C-alpha cells in the first residue's frame, strides 16, 4: 500500500532556552513545505498520525546506532579519523563519536575533582546527581523515564539522539537509501543540514553560563559553531568548500541572540558576561557592514544594558542567523569577510575602550578570520603557508595567559593582512548550496 504524502515542517527556535533541545518541538516560525511522497509499498514506515508528536517521542539510546551494519562499522580497518561513506550511510559515525568526540565523555567530566569542587562550592551535592550539571553534561538524565528505552543511559553523555532527535519513529526508516532528506526529517529526524537548526541545537550549552557557575570555577564559554565542530572531530560531511565561514556567521549570530536573552532575563550578570556580549555585538555590527545585504543593528549600542536594547539585539541576531543559513556561500563572500575583518586594524589602534572590552573584540575577530582563512588553507596548504604562520601569531596575541595589548594585536592583524598577498589571486567563486 502507499502511505499518504508527508509534509515536512520546518520548526523554528524558541529563544529562551537553558538546556539542550531534547526532542521537544521547536516552537516559533512554522512553515509547511511539501516533500516528495514516500516510495511504496512502505509498511515499515510510521504513518503521519504517529510521528508528529515529537514531545512524546521515545529515545532508543546510542546502542541503536552502534551496530557494525549501521554507524559502528565501515570497511576494514574501521576508521575513527575520517567519515567513511557507503552509499548514503556514514558507516563509522558512531565509532568516531565514541572514540574521539568529547561529547561522549561529558558524563565522565562530572566525576572529576574539578566538578566535585564546583558542585561543593554551589552546595549542589554530587555533580552527577544535580540537574544544574546534567542538563548539559548528561541530558538523558532529565528525560522522563517513560520516554526512554531500557538501553538508554545517562552515562552516554551527549549522544546521538540529543542532536538528531528521539529516534524510535525514524531509526528503521532512515537507513533506506530511497528516502530523501526531507522525508527523513518528516519522520521526526532533526534537520541538521540546516545550519540555523544546527546552531540552535548546540548554543544553549556552549554559550550561556550562569554567573554562579562561573564563580564556582566553570570555564568561560565561547560558542563557535565551525571551529568547535571541526574539533570534535566531525562524524559527518559538510556540503561545499566554504560552509565553514558560513557556519561561523550563523553561530555568532545565534550566540549573540542567546547572550542577549540571558542578560535580559537575569537580575544580575557577571562583568565577563557583559564584556562578552559587548565584544560580540561590536563584531557583528562590523560583519554585517562588511558583507551587506543582512539585517542591520540600527539604533543599537553595545553600552546600553536595557531590556529594550537586549530584545532588539536578540531579534536582529536571530534574523541574521536565519538569513545567513539560507544564503549560498562562495570564495568571493569568504574573501570579502576576511579582507573586511583585516581592515579593522585601525579600530584597535585608536580605540579608547577598556582592555577587557578590546580583548573580547579581538577574540571574535580572530575566530572569524580563522574560519574564513581555513576554508582557503584547507584546499591548498602550500599556497597559504605564510598566512598560516601569521594566523598563529594572531592567535598568540589573544593569549589569555598574558595581558592583552591592543597595539600588538593591531600589528599582528596587519601582518596577517599583508601575508595574504603571497597567496596570489583568488580562484573563481565556488558556491555551497543555498538552503
Position 342 scores a pLDDT of: 96
Which of these, 99, 34, 22, 24, lies nearest to 54 by C-alpha position?
24
**HEC assignment per residue over 365-405:** HHHHHHHHHHHHHCCCCCCCHHHHHHHHHHHHCCCCCCCCC
Residues 6+ apart with CB under 8 A from 315: none
Other Cβ atoms less than 10 A from the Cβ of 11: the count is 20
Q: What is the Cα 417 distance to its own chain's centre?
A: 27
Residues 6+ apart with CB under 8 A from 81: 96, 100, 233
For residues 106-121, b (16+ Cβ closer than 10 Å) or e, as one string? bbebbeeeebeebbee
pTM (two decimals): 0.82
How far apart CA 166 and CA 50 sit, in angstroms, is 13
Position 29 scores a pLDDT of: 31
How far apart CA 212 and CA 375 sit, in angstroms, is 38
Position 242 scores a pLDDT of: 92
Position 427 scores a pLDDT of: 56
Position 240 scores a pLDDT of: 83
Position 47 scores a pLDDT of: 32
Position 85 scores a pLDDT of: 67
* pLDDT tens-digit profile, the chain (435 residues): 322 222 222 223 222 222 222 222 232 332 333 344 433 333 333 333 333 345 667 898 888 888 887 888 766 566 666 777 666 667 888 888 888 889 999 999 999 999 999 999 999 999 999 999 999 999 998 888 888 888 888 899 999 989 998 988 888 888 787 888 888 888 888 999 999 999 999 998 998 888 889 899 999 889 999 998 888 878 888 888 899 999 999 999 999 999 999 999 887 766 788 899 999 999 999 999 999 989 999 888 888 888 999 999 999 999 999 999 999 899 999 999 999 999 999 999 999 999 989 999 999 999 999 999 999 999 899 999 999 999 999 999 998 767 899 999 999 999 999 999 877 656 544 444 444
Position 93 scores a pLDDT of: 86
Position 388 scores a pLDDT of: 96
Are 362 and 404 in contact by the 8 Å Cβ rule? The answer is yes
Amino acid at each position: 500500500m502507499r502511505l499518504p504524502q508527508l509534509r515536512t515542517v520546518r520548526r523554528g527556535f524558541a529563544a529562551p532556552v537553558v538546556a539542550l533541545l531534547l526532542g521537544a518541538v521547536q516552537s516559533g516560525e512554522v512553515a509547511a513545505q511539501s516533500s516528495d511522497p514516500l516510495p511504496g509499498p512502505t509498511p515499515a514506515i510510521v504513518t503521519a498520525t504517529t510521528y508528529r508528536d515529537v514531545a512524546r517521542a521515545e529515545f532508543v539510546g546510542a546502542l541503536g546506532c552502534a551496530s557494525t551494519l549501521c554507524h559502528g562499522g565501515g570497511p576494514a580497518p574501521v576508521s575513527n579519523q575520517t567519515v567513511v561513506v557507503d552509499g548514503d550511510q556514514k558507516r563509522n559515525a558512531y565509532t568516531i563519536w565514541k572514540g574521539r568526540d568529547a561529547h561522549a565523555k561529558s558524563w565522565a567530566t562530572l566525576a572529576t575533582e574539578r566538578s566535585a569542587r564546583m558542585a561543593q562550592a554551589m552546595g549542589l551535592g554530587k555533580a552527577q546527581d544535580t540537574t544544574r550539571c546534567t542538563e548539559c553534561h548528561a541530558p538523558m538524565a532529565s528525560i522522563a523515564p517513560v520516554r526512554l528505552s531500557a538501553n538508554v543511559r545517562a552515562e552516554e553523555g551527549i549522544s546521538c539522539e540529543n542532536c538528531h532527535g528521539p529516534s524510535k519513529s525514524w531509526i528503521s526508516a532512515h537507513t533506506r537509501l530511497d528516502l530523501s532528506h526531507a522525508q527523513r526529517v518528516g519522520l521526526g529526524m532533526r534537520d541538521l543540514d540546516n545550519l540555523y537548526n544546527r546552531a540552535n541545537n548546540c548554543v544553549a550549552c556552549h554559550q550561556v553560563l550562569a554567573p554562579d557557575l562561573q564563580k564556582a570555577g566553570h570555564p568561560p564559554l565561547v560558542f563557535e559553531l565551525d571551529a568547535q565542530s571541526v574539533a570534535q572531530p566531525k562524524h559527518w560531511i559538510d556540503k561545499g568548500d566554504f560552509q565553514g565561514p558560513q557556519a561561523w556567521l550563523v553561530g555568532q549570530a545565534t550566540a549573540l541572540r542567546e547572550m542577549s536573552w540571558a542578560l535580559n532575563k537575569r537580575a544580575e550578570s557577571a562583568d565577563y558576561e557583559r564584556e562578552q556580549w559587548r565584544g560580540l555585538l561590536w563584531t557583528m555590527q562590523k560583519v554585517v557592514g562588511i558583507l551587506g545585504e543582512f539585517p542591520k543593528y540600527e539604533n543599537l549600542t553595545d553600552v546600553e544594558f536595557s531590556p529594550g536594547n537586549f530584545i532588539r539585539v536578540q531579534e536582529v541576531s536571530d534574523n541574521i542567523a536565519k538569513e545567513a543559513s539560507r544564503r549560498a556561500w562562495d570564495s568571493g563572500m569568504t574573501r570579502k569577510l576576511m579582507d573586511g575583518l583585516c581592515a579593522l586594524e585601525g579600530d584597535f589602534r585608536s580605540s579608547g575602550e577598556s582592555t577587557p572590552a578590546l580583548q573580547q573584540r579581538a577574540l571574535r575577530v580572530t575566530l572569524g578570520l580563522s574560519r574564513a582563512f581555513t576554508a582557503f588553507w584547507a584546499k591548498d596548504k602550500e599556497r597559504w603557508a605564510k598566512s598560516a604562520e601569521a594566523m598563529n601569531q594572531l592567535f598568540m596575541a589573544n593569549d589569555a595567559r598574558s595581558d592583552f595589548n591592543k597595539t600588538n594585536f593591531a600589528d599582528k592583524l596587519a601582518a596577517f593582512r599583508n601575508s595574504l598577498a603571497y597567496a596570489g589571486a583568488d580562484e573563481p567563486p565556488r558556491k555551497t548550496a543555498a538552503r
